[in-house]
Amino acid sequence: MQVAPIVTVDDKPVPVAEVETPLLNITLPADNIFGAPAGTTGQSVAHGWVTLLQPLTLGAHTIVGKGTVASGTFTTKIVVQGQ
């Protein structure tokens, strides 16, 4: 069982959902991250965590994610500006 990370925006917790793709058949392009020849086929699956945020108010915001001991913590600061 996976343990969900904790994500906050401006010190307020936001919900986090676990997502996973089904098993996918893939064909690798040239210059792929595996160093395999272009056209190599295989199977892949993706797994991760996602949070969907409501539109943020104008101004500065701090997003913090805390995972397991192995994945550590990240902090991102963003500024939302008007058009």
For residue 44, what pLDDT is reported? 96
* Tokens (6 digits) for 57: 């108010």
pLDDT in tens, 30-45: 999 999 999 999 999 9
The predicted pLDDT at position 71 comes to: 67
pTM check: above 0.85: no
* pLDDT value of position 4: 85
Residue identified by tokens 């915001």 is: 61
Closest CA to 53 of 19, 22, 20, 14: 14
* pLDDT tens by residue, 24-79: 999 999 999 999 999 999 999 999 889 999 899 999 999 999 986 566 889 999 99
Cα separation, 25 vs 48, in Å, equals 19
Residue in 47, 4, 1 with CA at minimum distance from that of residue 24: 47
